[in-house]
Structures are given as structure tokens and as C-alpha cells.
Amino acid sequence: SSELTQDPAVSVALGQTVRITCQGDSLRNYQTNWYRQKPGQAPALVMFGDNRPSGIPDRFSGSRSGNTASLTITGAQAEDEADYYCNSRDSTGYHFVFGTGTKVTI
């Protein structure tokens, strides 16, 4: 399958923990990346595999189990309110796919 499925929306109280999931068969074999997109802005990479790009706070963490990848925000801040998209390669490995997106409300 070349689809990556995410929950449409989640809400979390300020300072609490939220986990965003991404499900797809290709995630068993390929790295999952996560992007944060604030209104009117381009997406920004916040996690590749279980690694954070420089400048991304350590409250963001990534993990994977089977065909499901997760992005966890521990101690969510107001500035984390955004749309989050997962991304990986498809089952062939030659193409890329994005998830359906999750709107996180703080």
C-alpha cells in the first residue's frame, strides 16, 4: 500500500503529552519523517526517524512499531499547535508519500 493514515485531529492541554500516529505498510521498511505546518507557512521537518534536526526541541520524539510510526510531544507548548504530516517512501521504495495530516490543538 502507498497510503499513510493519520488521525484527523487531536487536542492536548498545555504542558501535557500528545502522541500523533501514522499507519502504513511501507513504514515497516522505510524511515518515517514528520513535518509541522503552521497556518500560512511552509512545512518544516521536526523528526527524521527517531532523530531531531538541529533547532528542534527535545520535547519532540519519534518511534515506530510495526507499520505504525509515532511522533510524541512531551510537554506541549502553545507554539506546537499546527498541522503535522508524516512522510516516507511507498512500498516500492522509489516514490514518496505523505500522510493525511493531523491537526493538533493546544
Partner 1 sequence: QITLKESGPTLVKPTQTLTLTCSFSGFSLTTNGVGVAWIRQPPGKALEWLALLYWNGEATYSPSLKTRLTVTEDTSTKQVVLSMTNMDPVDTATYYCAHRGDPDAFDFWGQGTVVTVSS
Of 64-103, binders to partner 1 (CB under 8 A) are 85, 87, 89, 94-101
CA distance linking residue 31 with residue 52, whole number of Å:
13
For the CB of residue 58, give the shortest distance to partner 1 in the complex, in Å.
17
CA distance linking residue 82 with residue 38, whole number of Å:
5
Instruction: Between 15 and 53, name the residue whose CB sits nearer to partner 1.
Output: 53
CA distance linking residue 53 with residue 48, whole number of Å:
8
**Three-state DSSP state, 12:** coil
Sheet containing 60-65: give its strands across.
Answer: 5-6, 17-23, 68-74, 60-65
- Total residues in contact with partner 1, by rule CB under 8 A: 25
Interface residue with partner 1 among 21, 31, 61, 63 (CB under 8 A) is: 31
Q: Is 35 in the site for partner 1 (CB under 8 A)?
A: yes
Q: How many CB atoms lie within 10 A of CB 99?
A: 25
Binding mask 45-64 for partner 1 (x = CB under 8 A): x--xx-x-x-----------
For the CB of residue 48, give the shortest distance to partner 1 in the complex, in Å.
4
Instruction: Between 12 and 84, name the residue whose CB sits nearer to partner 1.
Output: 84
